[in-house]
Structure 1
Amino acid sequence: MNPLRVMIVLIAAVSAIGLAVVMQKAMGGKAPPAAVVQAPVATDKPMTQVLVAKRDLVIGERLTAADVTWQAWPSDAINAAFITNGAAAPAPTKTAAKAAKAVGDVADGMIGGVTPEKAIEGAIVRDPILAGEPITSRKIVRGGEGGYLSVVLSPGKRAMAVPVTSETAVGGFVLPGDRVDVLQTHEGPSGGEGEGAAAKTVVADTILQNVRVLALDQSTTAEKDAKTIVAATATLEVGPIEAEALARAKAAGPVTLILRAYTDLGGPSGLGVRSQESNVVRVNRGGQTSSIAVRP
């Protein structure tokens, strides 16, 4: 090989290496960054605002407007059971048009002319709802709808109705959600013997104390600004033993509801003192008396 040509190749190689070293030092000793490949930006899709849970909601929880929020949802994935703001994208096909109309009809039926947040306020969660999950009518129940009482009842409690009048229900001032005592009056033993003695006495017993009023007639909530409700039936929340005591009391005669003060709601709840005593039998053996609780 021609020595001159070899010399030219070596000089070119050394020059290339030197140029690379100079460039690396000029860039702070770092290798030149690799080209950044950006993912293609997806095309914008029509979105619709859907009412979703802001947090996890458990069975029996009462909803408020603060428990829900709006979330953007692809319009082509909207389910007819979702509650939307009604601003769905124009439907290009007949099928999509029918789906959009169904969404609007369901939303209107659930909302009832008010904002969605207000429409679900006071509703009870029937099935668990996760945060971010759309609110649907299948998972909540509102006052006056089927299944409402079974969701509202506390664990282990029962709903039992008793007849009332304005006179036996504090003149109509007892409202759903109030706490009451249940009182019964009946004839006691005569006050004496012989002519001129009292013919009879009246005894009043507290059958139940501090029980919750679930509904009056078929109303589970009081109307806005309602101060009184004159009803023929009051539905109370009671336990199994309390229900038996109340059934016996109803069979013996009418009962009266006694409204409790708001500051007294934390008191004992359940059987009244008289009902508790009626479930105790005193046995005397060898001069010693013992008490045994029994179910009547």
Structure 2
Amino acid sequence: MSPVRLLIVLIAAVSAIGLAVVLQRAMGGKPAESVAIAAPAPSEPSKPMTQVLVAKRDLPIGTRLVAADVEWQAWPSDAVNGAFITNGASPTKPEGKVEEAKATVAGAADQMIGGDPAKVVEGAIVRDPILTGEPITNRKIVRGGEGGYLSVVLTPGKRAMSVPVTSETSAGGFILPGDRVDVLVTREDAVAGENGGAGNKVIVAETVLQNIRVLALDQSTAAEKDAKSIVAATATLEVGPVEAEALTRAKASGAVTLALRAYTDLGGPSGLANPATAKDTAVRINRGGATTSVAVRP
């Protein structure tokens, strides 16, 4: 074989070997590793929620609730206490679907259907302090006509006292709870005659208390809707300790009449009509070694 042919064969062999190596690397390499994407863990099933009435701000004792003081808040149904006030609807899931299953407080007497907070708290007064976000319960509020209502609505330091009234002694029945009145007493006084002889009796009318708040008429602490008058047998008034003593003396000395005050007198002076002569003076009398006290009016 000639040297030229031998060189061609060697070049062809080397080229064949090189081509085989290139093809082996191109086709025989490791396949690209696929990236495994972990599937998200299944989330917990959504819990059903119930609308619970809660306080929007701190509510101290004696606060008269209005719609702006409370709001509905979603509450886990399994954590709803039977004392909570709910809107009475079935529990709902977060996506808004109504769950047909159980409601732990469904049908409770203190639930209010309709979803209007104003209807739930209308006329209610806070009996115990309620914090912001705290659920409203019937134990912490009191409504008109319920036990303990008057003790909550009373101004601190004041007392509630009742006096007998008729339509004639209560402005024809036009006095309503919340109005302001003057308290007058009518009594007989003896006038001494000439030379110390027996005199005639005269009728004396005296204003004992002025601008006094009317708490209730009979057992009604608020007038019915559209009511313009109430004919009652008793009127409960808000008085201070000294005014309570003066009112007690007035009831014992004669008939008591209530005079209705104008609404614009709300901020006027309230209390004893004549503080200088309202209190009796106690005089001690000693007889046979026994001392007694007699109250006399100066």
Q: TM-score, normalised by structure 2?
A: 0.72
Contact 1:181 1:211 in 2 (8 A): yes
What pairs with 1:175-190 in structure 2 (closer than 5 Å)?
175-190=176-191
CA distance in 2, matches of 1:199, 1:113: 69
Match of residue 100, structure 1, among 102, 105, 127: 105
Match of residue 54, structure 1, among 53, 56, 74: 56
Please name the residue that 2:231 is paired with. Answer: 230
Please name the residue that 1:64 is paired with. Answer: 66
CA distance in 2, matches of 1:60, 1:119: 17
SS of the residue aligned with 2:109?
A: helix
Residue 40 to residue 233, structure 1, CA distance change in 2 (3 Å): same
Please name the residue that 1:267 is paired with. Answer: 268
User: Based on CA coordinates, which of the two structures has the bigger radius of gyration?
Assistant: 2
Contact 1:191 1:201 in 2 (8 A): no
What pairs with 1:116-195 in structure 2 (closer than 5 Å)?
116-190=117-191, 193=194
RMSD: 2.8
1:117-160 CA-partner distances (Å, limit 9, x unpaired): 21312211000111111111000000000000001111111100
SS of the residue aligned with 1:138?
A: helix
SS of the residue aligned with 1:106?
A: coil
Please name the residue that 1:277 is paired with. Answer: 277
Instruction: Flag structure 1 segments of 5+ consecutive residues without an equivalent.
Output: 1-37, 282-293
Residue 234 to residue 56, structure 1, CA distance change in 2 (3 Å): same
SS of the residue aligned with 1:150?
A: helix
1:69-109 CA-partner distances (Å, limit 9, x unpaired): 110101111111111122233576xxx66x333xx32334x
Contact 1:192 1:198 in 2 (8 A): yes
CA distance in 2, matches of 1:76, 1:295: 69
CA distance in 1, matches of 2:125, 2:64: 5
1:194-252 CA-partner distances (Å, limit 9, x unpaired): 9xx98332211111111110000000011001100000000000111111110011011
Please name the residue that 1:206 is paired with. Answer: 207
Contact 1:60 1:152 in 2 (8 A): yes
Please name the residue that 2:22 is paired with. Answer: none
SS of the residue aligned with 1:135?
A: coil
CA distance in 1, matches of 2:232, 2:186: 21
Contact 2:65 2:123 in 1 (8 A): yes
Q: Which amino acid aligns with 1:270?
A: G
Contact 1:47 1:74 in 2 (8 A): yes
CA distance in 2, matches of 1:39, 1:248: 81
SS of the residue aligned with 1:100?
A: coil
CA distance in 1, matches of 2:263, 2:201: 36
Q: Which amino acid aligns with 1:174?
A: I
Contact 2:89 2:113 in 1 (8 A): no
Contact 1:184 1:205 in 2 (8 A): yes
Q: TM-score, normalised by structure 1?
A: 0.72
